[in-house]
Amino acid sequence: MTAPVRTARGSEELIRAEEPVLAHNYHPLPVVVARAEGAWVEDVEGRRYLDMLAGYSALNFGHRHPALVEAAHRQLDRLTLTSRAFHNDRLAGFAERLAALTGTDMVLPMNTGAEAVESGIKVARKWAYDVKGVPADRATIVVAADNFHGRTTTIVSFSTDETARSGFGPFTPGFRIVPYNDLAALEAAVDETTAAVLIEPIQGEAGVLIPDDGYLAGVRELTRRKGCLFVADEIQSGLGRTGHTLAVEHESVVPDVVLLGKALGGGIVPVSAVVGRRDVLGVLHPGEHGSTFGGNPLAAAVGTAVVELLETGEFQRRAAELGAVLREGLAALVGRGVVGFRARGLWAGVDVDPALGSGREISERLMREGILVKDTHGSTIRLAPPLTVTAEELTGALGTLEKVLTS
Ligand SMILES: *Cc1c(COP(=O)(O)O)cnc(C)c1O
């Protein structure tokens, strides 16, 4: 990146300008980004920051990956939207490649993560009525406490985060909440009305909580034995982040349905999908579900380019190799401002000594040192750099974290 992007207003002025006109549903760090490339972003004053959040994993391939930008440009010059009233020449290839990448049969293309979750819920319920034979309107879905699956009214209905829920009722019935990482509780909650167990293989928003080894395999065994679906929300954990294409691969588990989003759009357009076996996704018939933008040719072109990047295995390998660097670096900080951490691949939840500040305060201090991160709860910060980050950039960021925590 060369000369800074020129804007009529500076950072502080732009932040002040948002206040009266922008709904206050976020509390961003006080940085105004104007440009980005790879793992780096630049603010309107030309200051550079290493992006250690990567759009909550929407930017797994970094900002403006050349192959993705090229795919988008090429498609912009040809065809952007048809709606599903007509076919478009990009969708079949995208669905074929994505199904092959994730080892399954069928793809239901949507746009945002929350829509993929909503669509997964609808598919699971329809499957329960049409295939399993659950009496009409009686289907239940078992979910985990401290989940994050998005922000729609149905999804917040089964959130345990009061801030996300409170004030948005009445809520959608049909969900049972059990503790995460607790197979006995799951066993007790699943009955003949259960359409699906819906969980995150790693709970991202909860602080990158990694279940015990055997939990995901246990969920697979239990759901198969009890005759309900295993729906894995891989919207944040999937597409290379953990060192595998899907986080469930750590336990060699194949869910019935996988929900994808975030990185599927390459950081360019919102692209999400429900992927699963034909005997499950096949329950949908024309008119029963849809989306004006889902499967649009621009999304399909970018999504195909994303799948092509993942087919090389390079990003999964990088996440695994650099993940070791991240873990080692964090281990060295335990007792030096870090009280504990959980990490898998290039993804970590870091619990900072609360005496040193809230996660928000630590994030602000890191920002002033040129590192962008995001707190989750309390004094936990989350690290999820683009998978294109270099080992030097990563160790540099860990050095900055050490400086911020020990100075
Ligand atoms: C981000 C996220 C969602 C929601 O995705 P949106 O695109 O923000 O709607 C759902 N599930 C998980 C695990 C996520 O991380």
In order along its 407 residues, the chain shows pLDDT tens digits of 677 777 789 999 999 999 999 999 999 999 999 999 999 999 999 999 999 999 999 999 999 999 999 999 999 999 999 999 999 999 999 999 999 999 999 999 999 999 999 999 999 999 999 999 999 999 999 999 999 999 999 999 999 999 999 999 999 999 999 999 999 999 999 999 999 999 999 999 999 999 999 999 999 999 999 999 999 999 999 999 999 999 999 999 999 999 999 999 999 999 999 999 999 999 999 999 999 999 999 999 999 999 999 999 999 999 999 999 999 999 999 999 999 999 999 999 999 999 999 999 999 999 999 999 999 988 999 999 999 999 999 999 999 999 999 98
Where is the domain boundary, 311, 340, 367? 311
* pTM, two decimal places: 0.98
Where is the domain boundary, 279, 311, 343? 311
**Of the residues 111, 262, 382, which should be mutated to test ligand 1's pocket, given the most ligand atoms within 8 Å of the CB?**
262
> Tokens in use for 276?
């699963």
- Are residues 298 and 366 both part of a single domain? no
For residue 337 and ligand 1, the question of a CB distance below 6 A is answered with no
**Of the residues 53, 59, 143, 149, which should be mutated to test ligand 1's pocket, given the most ligand atoms within 8 Å of the CB?**
149
* Nearest residue to 273 via CA among 97, 68, 111, 122: 111
Cβ atoms 163, 148 nearer than 8 A: no
For residue 261 and ligand 1, the question of a CB distance below 6 A is answered with yes
Q: Which of 233, 256, 351, 375 is catalytic?
A: 233
Residue type, 360: R
pLDDT of 1 reads: 64
> Tokens in use for 230?
């295993």
In a domain, 3, yes or no: no
132 is catalytic: no
165-195 burial, b if ≥16 CB within 10 A, otherwise e? beeeeeeeebbbbbebbbbebbeebbeebbb
> Tokens in use for 11?
């950072």
Where is the domain boundary, 311, 343, 366? 311
pLDDT of 54 reads: 98
pLDDT of 234 reads: 98
- Are residues 174 and 184 both part of a single domain? yes
Output the DSSP codes for 332-384.
Answer: HHBTTTEEEEEESSS-EEEEE-GGG--HHHHHHHHHHTTEE-EE-STTEEEE-
| CATH code of the domain in which 318 resides | 3.90.1150.10
- Are residues 319 and 299 both part of a single domain? no
Expressed in angstroms and rounded, the spacing between residue 149 Cα and the centre of ligand 1 is 5
- Are residues 332 and 243 both part of a single domain? no
- Are residues 180 and 298 both part of a single domain? yes
262 is catalytic: yes
Helices 66-76, 297-311: axis angle to 10 degrees equals 150
For residue 235 and ligand 1, the question of a CB distance below 6 A is answered with yes
Cβ atoms 228, 191 nearer than 8 A: no
The whole domain housing 201 covers 66-311
- What percentage of the chain's residues is helix, strand, coil (to nearest 5)? 40, 15, 45
- Are residues 214 and 145 both part of a single domain? yes
Expressed in angstroms and rounded, the spacing between residue 217 Cα and the centre of ligand 1 is 23
Count of other CB atoms within 10 angstroms of residue 266: 30
- Are residues 214 and 294 both part of a single domain? yes
pLDDT of 35 reads: 97
Placement of tokens 């699943």 in the chain:
190
- Are residues 107 and 212 both part of a single domain? yes
- Are residues 58 and 124 both part of a single domain? no
**Of the residues 148, 208, 210, which should be mutated to test ligand 1's pocket, given the most ligand atoms within 8 Å of the CB?**
148
In a domain, 361, yes or no: yes
In a domain, 322, yes or no: yes
